[in-house]
Chains A and B, each alone.
Chain A
């Protein structure tokens, strides 16, 4: 499976990539929404986009709106991964077409859980004492 990681922080992209790599994803990346749209135009449609909110050039919400306006990307699941924790932001992201919403900071289990919720990976039982 292919994931598009969109975040203006290289460190955050790295954290996300390290987690999803262990779930079998390969990835492409971008530092803001416009760059992410350019990546989408030239390559295959990813299965998943993990999208920050606050970025230069084009923010995450605008990116989601642009992507959802294009039928070519209908199959791509979108997970917002952002420091914005207000319900208003969650509502706007979900209404725009994001499939789920993850607040930073997060841990591996939380990201994994979100990927389960949007049907990209199979649920596994959490073992005690992990």
Chain B
């Protein structure tokens, strides 16, 4: 049975309340496509029946499964390659000079999904700043709303379809080993990355000061107030000369004027407005 307007509204409200993700009026198809398999798993006929179950009794675990199912996990290694090129060519060499005394780097992949972005950051360091990656105190934190995808990220295991997407063959050979029909990230990559569940729209745990933040293709799902709250927190956990990457199609000027945009080739990143002009970039 097609989803009625009130049932769609119910699910839309549920997803918003638990994750601050805003589903547009044209997302009914997406919701049905994604929740259909979940309805089957839950042993009910369709998404409408799933709504009835949700309405009948409070079931936090089922609510979480609904929200996690609606979380977009589209990702690939070196997704939209340009930010990684800018990191390699400009940002990392500058940062490494600046941090030569403290010998520490903190990097955050804030919508990590199954970990391809965090692993790509680790591989970028291992390929182009090997001494730093192996000798400094480097931590790449990957966080995601979904405990399911965080568990997958922690496993460091990827399917053939996943390693086919975006990962150059020499990198596959260097940073992965075969594990049956899957590929396992190398111990060097695993040492650099760690993962944790985190809801960007809820209260944040105590976060370190990051040198680099990747928060790409997630802000578009939040409304203006949520974005504004997120940027206030970002401002507090990005080091004064740190850099922030958001998705190429996302703009934060509307949400916060605390950052300035730096064009870098065909991509861009953000940094604190107050930093000296001789800073990175």
Write the residues of chain A forming the contact surface with B, with a CB cutoff of 8 angstroms: 85-87, 90-91, 94, 100-103, 105-107, 109-110, 113, 116-117, 123, 125-130
Contacts and interface: CB of A to CB of B under 8 A. Distances in A.
Contact of B164 (A110, A123, A128, A129): A110
Interface stretch (B54-62, B167-175, B233-241): B167-175
Given A85-B160, A125-B247, A109 B81 contact: no
Given A94-B169, A103-B160, A127-B74, 10 more contacts: A90-B172, A103-B164, A107-B161, A109-B76, A110-B161, A113-B76, A113-B166, A126-B79, A128-B220, A129-B74
A116 B81 contact: yes
Contacts of B248: 125
Contact of B169 (A90, A123, A130): A90
Contacts of B178: 85-87
A126 B74 CA distance: 8
B165 interface: yes
B173 A127 contact: no
B134 interface: no
Interface in B206-249: 217, 220, 247-249
Contact of A125 (B160, B161, B249): B249
12 contacts: A90-B169, A91-B173, A94-B170, A100-B169, A105-B161, A106-B161, A107-B165, A110-B164, A117-B168, A125-B248, A125-B249, A126-B76
The 9 closest A-B pairs by CB, nearest first: A110-B164, A101-B169, A128-B72, A128-B74, A125-B80, A125-B248, A110-B165, A113-B166, A87-B173
B104 interface: no
A71 to B, nearest CB: 24
Interface string B144-163: 00000000000000001101
